[in-house]
A and B are shown apart, each in its own frame.
Chain A
């Protein structure tokens, strides 16, 4: 958002206030349905497919994406849209038909829990700790974004801005759990689409449509034809086609949609396996529109703004100030808040679910030699949500001084994506994959991706090497997992029953269960 204060009219304030109160009320209504940990963490397994689809996209598109996505489109052009197009759609189908049914049938709360059952506790712990660190920091970053925006709109101090946002999100996330998060996500994405859709319409009207925008950019900015192409040469500085198709389209996106807890938790809370699968496909339909909402304003900024911006991320905020009339400006800020809140609540809920399921319950069982009582887990889950929000609120202002921690964590996540997908894929598709194979595959893949991340700029021709890092670390992790698995004793059929694709399709007992499900439905 713009660095200077924006001039909002009374109607803008009214729209923002109505949106915030509406979200809070809707969220609190859902809190009445939370009676157990299953209700809190998995919405009582009652979510319909349309809500899952909307919530997946709402969680995926955060306030940061609205700003940086448009900024990247301003800088690199249309190729930025690959992240939501080829970077979504083959992946949501793989998630829907290969991964989600197995997570759902296994009745797990988290992806590390699935990996723990399929492989061993070591794999589960490594995954859980990395994801927890990433998600906690992400919540803090999002709160930091809210500080910036609230300061611009209302002139609030850091303390007031963080406190108000934390209370707004915390109220319904702490009391309503996943159901409240998902249902508010649905409303938030509608607001987000209306707000950003208005900006797209105004931008295109200003430049005379798509062809008008192309002509202005080519004439004024001297942008070549590559600026309007999705696929660029292998040695381009932006996003090379090879990285886009093989790194992003095959590995990174599949790892994201099949292994990101904040995305998949909605599918795990589905009321049926069909709803879980259908929800992923609905997300695919919605993702079709996301680049239009993000990159059209970025490109339009290139055509409309009089000078080249030194910071590309300022493109959309500048465009908002220039084009949005009273009323629509408030709607745009509401859209920004919708993007912000829908991601904060999702990461918050998923973070607590992961801590309870993968760390606390394991320690509790080891110490007390009994499972965590349900009322104890529910109470603790709520306290933890509040505690996590508090920690994130304390950390958030630090990002004003340094963004290094965020960069380090983003890099860490990209380092883990390829190897994680390798062990997830082999874990589900190959019954012979063993616990040792998974652990060594994960560690070896992470070591290679770390090395490539550090020295890759001297090896690969492109500036953006992360897509190649994911691809090659994935292939390496697959090779190591296969070799080590073949050198170690195979897992017993009982251990992998229901967790592996082949075991369900070939095993008569599993097939009978499937037939019974189908008959009952």
Chain B
């Protein structure tokens, strides 16, 4: 079964598509390999920061919708910010 799959499915597909795929992804890979570690870290931390900022663009009414009361502790934007802080610190510490 494995040999049959390799001979009749995977190898013909590889022959037909690998050169084209390499020409698409090859330059991108070359670019990504050359990027220095501070760029990796910025991208990772950026994900958390963007998520944190995006949460604060949500309207208060949307965040509280369905909550039994309007207490400050039920503001999920605060929860989200508190959640993101340790993740940012971990990546700052272990990401480099």
Q: Mark B69-96, 1 if CB is under 8 A from A, else 0.
A: 1000010100110011011001100111
Interchain CB contact under 8 A, A231 and B83: no
Q: Does B27 contact A (CB under 8 A)?
A: no
Known: A454-B10, A521-B66. A234 touches B84 (CB 8 A): no
Q: Does A125 contact B (CB under 8 A)?
A: no
Known: A85-B87, A273-B66, A281-B83. A229 touches B47 (CB 8 A): no
Question: Which applies to chain A's interface (DSSP): helix, strand, loop or mixed?
Answer: helix
Q: How large is the interface on A (under 10, 10 to 19, 20 to 34, 35 or more residues)?
A: 35 or more
Interchain CB contact under 8 A, A93 and B35: no
| Number of chain B residues close to chain A: CB under 8 A | 47
Contacts of A228 in B (CB 8 A): 94
Question: Which applies to chain B's interface (DSSP): helix, strand, loop or mixed?
Answer: helix
Kindly identify which residue among B17, B32, B50, B83 contacts A284, using a CB–CB cutoff of 8 Å: B83
Contacts of A96 in B (CB 8 A): 76, 80
Kindly identify which residue among A249, A273, A275, A514 contacts B47, using a CB–CB cutoff of 8 Å: A249
Interchain CB contact under 8 A, B94 and A78: yes
Cα of A250 to Cα of B44 in the assembled complex, Å:
10
Contacts of B50 in A (CB 8 A): 90
Known: A86-B91, A281-B83, A285-B83. A231 touches B37 (CB 8 A): yes
Q: Whole-angstrom distance from the CB of A245 to the nearest CB of chain B? A: 5
Using CB atoms, name the residue of chain B closest to A96.
B76
Interchain CB contact under 8 A, A97 and B37: no
Q: Does A101 contact B (CB under 8 A)?
A: yes
Which residues between 12 and 51 of chain B lie within 8 Å of chain A, taking CB atoms? 13-14, 17-18, 21-22, 25, 29, 32-33, 35, 37, 40-41, 43-44, 47-48, 50-51
Interchain CB contact under 8 A, A455 and B40: no
Interchain CB contact under 8 A, A231 and B80: no
Kindly identify which residue among A78, A231, A514, A518 contacts B41, using a CB–CB cutoff of 8 Å: A231
Cα of A246 to Cα of B55 in the assembled complex, Å:
20
Kindly identify which residue among B10, B47, B80, B95 contacts A455, using a CB–CB cutoff of 8 Å: B10
Contacts of A233 in B (CB 8 A): 33
Q: Interface residues, chain B, CB within 8 Å of chain A? A: 9-10, 13-14, 17-18, 21-22, 25, 29, 32-33, 35, 37, 40-41, 43-44, 47-48, 50-51, 54-55, 58, 61-69, 74, 76, 79-80, 83-84, 86-87, 90-91, 94-96
Additional A-B contact list (4), CB under 8 Å, known A97-B62, A272-B67, A455-B18 = A85-B91, A277-B76, A281-B80, A460-B25
Q: Interface residues, chain A, CB within 8 Å of chain B? A: 78, 81, 85-86, 89-90, 93-94, 96-97, 101, 228-231, 233-235, 240-242, 244-246, 249-250, 272-278, 281, 284-285, 288, 451-452, 454-455, 458-461, 472, 514-515, 517-518, 521
Q: What 6 pairs across the A-B complex have the smallest Cβ distances? A: A272-B66, A273-B66, A274-B66, A274-B67, A241-B40, A234-B32
